[in-house]
């Protein structure tokens, strides 16, 4: 379960726009927006503080007690959305959503497979696939799991692990279709088949060859006729 809370001190910002955001990032700050009960507040937070809060045991599902500089009242919030630098991997922007800890929220949680190397179907040469790597859940903010573990060590060749096969977690409601949502499958590998020559190719080659020989034979006949005519002329 999540169950982790972190105090995150932030400072409101008045200047907005891309140039200002780039300037803040160069100073080791991350721009963000807190969507709360009274509206949206733009803020900046130290990148190292944000990284520490989001790399704990609860990961991105941690509850953040956001405290604006100069205030003492914390705003219990969760991650709403974030942007990451595609090269360095640093968080470039973050959106937080203020929540009530006694009201359930919906979240998307990663699914981790374990025991794949022990699955009988895999040992026989089967291929383990994961059609769905995330699940939609509903739970109190402090009860949202960081991830859902799925044991596939028992799977035979041709088996499919569905959401209905996953043990239920206390306080967590799965929102996806329990039967239609496939978590993992073990299938036989697909062998490459060399294409066979199309029917009629050999026969066509034979026809072409015979046609060529026939043309050559026909071409010899006129030469013989011409020789006969020249011979008769010589007698005359």
Tell me whether the CATH fold assigned to 5-98 matches the one assigned to 105-187. no
Output the pLDDT for position 77: 94
* Residue corresponding to tokens 């604006």: 68
Separation between Cα atoms, residue 205 and residue 13, nearest integer Å: 80
Separation between Cα atoms, residue 112 and residue 179, nearest integer Å: 19
| φ, ψ for residue 84, nearest 5 deg | -115, 140
Fold adopted by 5-98 = Ribosomal Protein L25; Chain P (2.40.240)
Q: For residue 29, give both structure tokens.
A: 């700050």
Going by C-alpha positions, the residue among 128, 124, 127, 120 that lies closest to residue 189 is 127
Output the pLDDT for position 42: 92
Separation between Cα atoms, residue 126 and residue 157, nearest integer Å: 6
Least confident of 7-16, 54-63, 68-77, 139-148: 54-63
* pTM greater than 0.95 (yes/no): no
For the chain, the domains span 5-98, 105-187
Above 90 in pLDDT, residue 225? no
pLDDT in tens, 116-129: 999 999 999 999 99
Question: Using alpha carbons only, how large is the chain's radius of gyration in Å?
Answer: 37
Above 50 in pLDDT, residue 236? no
Out of 2.30.30.30, 3.30.365.10, 3.40.50.300, 2.170.120.20, the CATH code matching 105-187 is 2.170.120.20
């Amino acid at each position: 379960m999540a169950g982790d809370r972190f105090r995150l001190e932030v400072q409101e910002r008045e200047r907005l726009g891309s140039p200002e955001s780039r300037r803040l990032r160069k100073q080791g700050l991350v721009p963000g927006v807190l969507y709360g009960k009274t509206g949206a507040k733009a803020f900046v937070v130290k990148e190292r503080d944000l990284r520490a809060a989001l790399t704990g045991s609860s990961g991105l599902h941690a509850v953040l007690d956001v405290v604006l500089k100069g205030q003492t009242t914390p705003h219990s919030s969760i991650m709403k959305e974030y942007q990451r630098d595609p090269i360095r991997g640093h968080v470039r922007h973050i959106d937080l959503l203020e929540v009530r800890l006694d009201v359930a929220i919906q979240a998307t949680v990663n699914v981790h497979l374990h025991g794949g190397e022990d699955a009988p179907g895999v040992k026989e040469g089967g291929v383990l696939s994961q059609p769905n790597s995330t699940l939609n859940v509903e739970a109190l903010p402090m009860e949202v799991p960081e991830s859902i573990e799925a044991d596939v060590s028992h799977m035979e060749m041709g088996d499919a692990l569905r959401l209905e096969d996953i043990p239920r977690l206390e306080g967590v409601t799965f929102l996806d279709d329990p039967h239609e949502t496939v978590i993992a499958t073990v299938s036989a590998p697909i062998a490459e088949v060399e294409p066979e020559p199309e029917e009629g190719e050999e026969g066509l080659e034979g026809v072409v060859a015979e046609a060529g020989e026939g043309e050559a034979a026909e071409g010899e006949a006129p030469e013989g006729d011409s020789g006969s005519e020249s011979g008769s002329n010589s007698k005359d």
